[in-house]
Amino acid sequence: MLSVTAWPEKLKLIYLLLAIAWRLHAQLPPDQDIRSILEERIDRLHQGVGMVVGIVDRSGRRFVSYGNFGADDARPVDEDTVFEIGSVTKVFTSTILADMVRRGEVALGDPVAKYLPPHVKMPQRGAKQIALLDLATHTSGLPRMPADFYGDYTLENLFQFLSQFQLPRNAGSKFEYSNLGAGLLGQALARRAGMDYEALVRARVTEPLGMANTGIALTPAMREHFAPGYDSTRDPAPNWDLPVFAGAGALRSSARDLLTFVAAHLGYVESPLAPAMQSMTKVRRKAGDGYEMALGWIVTNRHGRQIFWHDGSTFGYQAFAGYDAKAGVGVIALSNMDVDVSDIGMHLLDPSAQLETLRPLVADEEKPDPAFAASPEFSGLLERVRSGSISVRLADGRVIDAVLPDAVLPDTADLAAGVIAAQYHLADRVQAACRPIKPFYDAKAFLHQYLELKSLRLLRPATPEELAGEVALLSWHTGENLLKRPDPVRAGDDAAAANEWERVRRVNVEYLSKLPDFVADETAWRYRSSMTSRRWRLLDTIDLEIALRSHPGRGSPWTRRNIRLNGLPWNRPLPFVRWFTFGIELNAFDPECTTKIEFVERQEVSGKSLLVYRFSSPPGGCFLTWENGGNRYNPARTGRILVDAARGNIIRYEEEASGYPAKFGIDWSTMVENWGNVMIGESSWLAPVSAELIVRMSNGNLLRMSVEYKNHRHFEASTKITFGKER
């Protein structure tokens, strides 16, 4: 029994604890501040359709929601709206693992092969087998997804892949995020329990916690509250149905249910899972700078806070769940649009974690500049005159294109272009008055415009400096510019290096001219990250056929067809796709380009002698133009070209592009393309075999696209048209 004299000290301790709890609680923003974040994302930035945030702490629970079910469904989302939660499912899978360990049904160190059919040969390197713990902490060495993955992928397909896969490293030695591993863990635990994965989740997690609106198959009640998903461009997105990998990302849930799950991990909900949940945080494996992996949870340590969290992404949804055990605070965030919400969750758990600076998805057309919309005028340097259009470079580096007006007479646009080219010269400063005729996005005016030239007026001839600048910026190809073509600009070096480069150039140009038309299978994996998280999250996998015509005449030499998104046929435009140009790097060998080439060194790699060249190309050079949000820009590029010294053929191309205009939406990009020997018919040819592109967006997001080309084969085409002679 506590003595009377001890009461004052006890009261001091109680008051101190209450003060600390109140201080921690006071750090959480009020509902209106959270609602303002959601309003900003949805109404101004258009980076959401419907969003719900839930918070639990020692004082209880609260929810903040904003937005609707969809573009054509005005029902407001709330804490009972059902969303796909993607990879947050992995925490449920690991919770089941921890519970089965506590019950003595499995052990963390058990080989996963113990719970698979006997005919499955699990990959192994060295003496260590892949254990259940390795799957739960993404340290198994298994890839993110199987290389042979497609839409109707079966469990037997997975077992066949595992039996043939070779581990790149010992199991347990290195973190590599793996949906395959998490899905396999779900399959192994379900087999051990003698039921399918969904039944296992229901028996071990959702029923004990009273989470009636959480599952894979939609119950009638869940279906009534299920919000449709939208991709990152606000187009309707297909639902995520991958039964083989259910343990990696198949669950759907509501904010109310998901917050109950987080509250249980904090100890606010009494359940038989409490000991298992507590044990999950005691397992740690290093995952990267500032990150660790517990069982299922990612662990971030910063500013004295230790946060357990996981996010999830599917075709049309984003989810976040996390908690700070020391502060006693848990947060969830759900959205039915594929735009990251983890920054919101992290910011609520740790105010020092900044919200992402996002760029509006679409232009704000409600308040356009009336003067610009009515009669846009531009002054700048005349850069190109083509058949049907002109281009004027403004002082800020943007290039404005305007089409030449149609008329009753045929070929009037061509005639107008000829008249302009006869009267004006390259880099003349001109005043162009236009009228808008169709929408296209102009970042400066925040307006969609498409311009037709009304009048053109010479302000003054070009200065020598302006002319030299335009010559350095432009590439010159026959028919591309009707303005007077200057003498080609060639980079000079010492005679030996120049002669060697001339040999390399000739070899590659001739090689490309002899390369046969062919088709290859192209697989692209698209990822997203940010400068704050630095963790790549797979967005989707795209499979298609690419046909390359070596002598296309007019038009693009490559065409893509039979596109499948995550194994399913796809006939609509794909957001955030920057397709590789499949050999466009050979433009560096064009003697009429302004690309500067410098010999760097000779390297020995795997017994092969390589010539290393450094190149630099000014804005508007011979490489393809980037497009983003309706804006077009051909940035400056620098990089390296690696050439087989003996044969003279290119085998690797590395590029960095920078200097994008301030409002273009892209800060920088990098690209690497590798060439290798492939069989086309009965002959061996050098062709691109893999590539990788990384783009840093102005909003801080990083986009990555990794591509492989396989199964090169002859291009074949046919027509149903019947041709005959005139009788």
pTM above 0.75, yes or no: no
Sequence-distant (6+) residues with CB within 8 A of 534 are: 288, 289
Question: Residue 42 CB: number of other CB atoms within 10 A?
Answer: 19
Ramachandran assignment for 444, one of left (phi > 0), alpha (psi -120 to 50 degrees), beta (any other): alpha
Dist. CA 339–CA 342, nearest whole Å: 9
Helix 179-193 and helix 89-102, axial crossing angle in degrees, nearest 10? 40
What digits encode the pLDDT tens for the residues 31-64?
A: 999 999 999 999 888 889 999 999 999 999 999 9
Between 102 and 720, name the one with better pLDDT.
Answer: 102
Query: CATH 3.40.50.11610: does it fit domain 370-473?
Result: no
> pLDDT tens digit string along 318-327?
999 999 999 9
Give the C-alpha separation, 230 to 245, whole Å.
Answer: 22
Q: Average the pLDDT over 419-431 and give the result.
A: 86
Predicted pLDDT at 662: 72
Report the C-alpha gap between 111 and 126 in whole angstroms.
14
| Average confidence (pLDDT) over 212-220 | 95
> Distance between CA atoms of 631 and 365, rounded to whole angstroms?
16
Please list the alpha-helical segments (H only) found in 570-671: none
Burial 679-698 (b: 16+ CB within 10 A, else e): ebeeeebbbbbbbbbbbbbb
563-605 pLDDT, tens digit each: 888 777 877 666 555 555 555 566 666 666 667 788 888 877 7
- Mean pLDDT, to the nearest integer, of 475-484? 63
Asked if residue 530 has pLDDT above 70, the reply is no
Domain boundaries of the chain, sorted by first residue? 23-349, 370-473, 495-714
- At 711, which helix (H) or strand (E)? strand 701-714
Establish whether domains 23-349 and 370-473 are of one fold. Answer: no
Which whole number is the average pLDDT over 547-557?
Answer: 52
| Mean pLDDT comparison of 96-105, 242-251, 639-648, highest-scoring range | 96-105
**Rounded mean pLDDT of 605-629?**
77
What is the per-residue pLDDT for 335? Answer: 96
What architecture is the 23-349 domain classified under in CATH?
3-Layer(aba) Sandwich (3.40)
Model pLDDT for residues 166-182, shown as the tens digit of each residue: 888 889 888 888 899 99
pLDDT value, residue 318: 94
**If you ran DSSP here, which 8-state letter would residue 665 be given?**
S
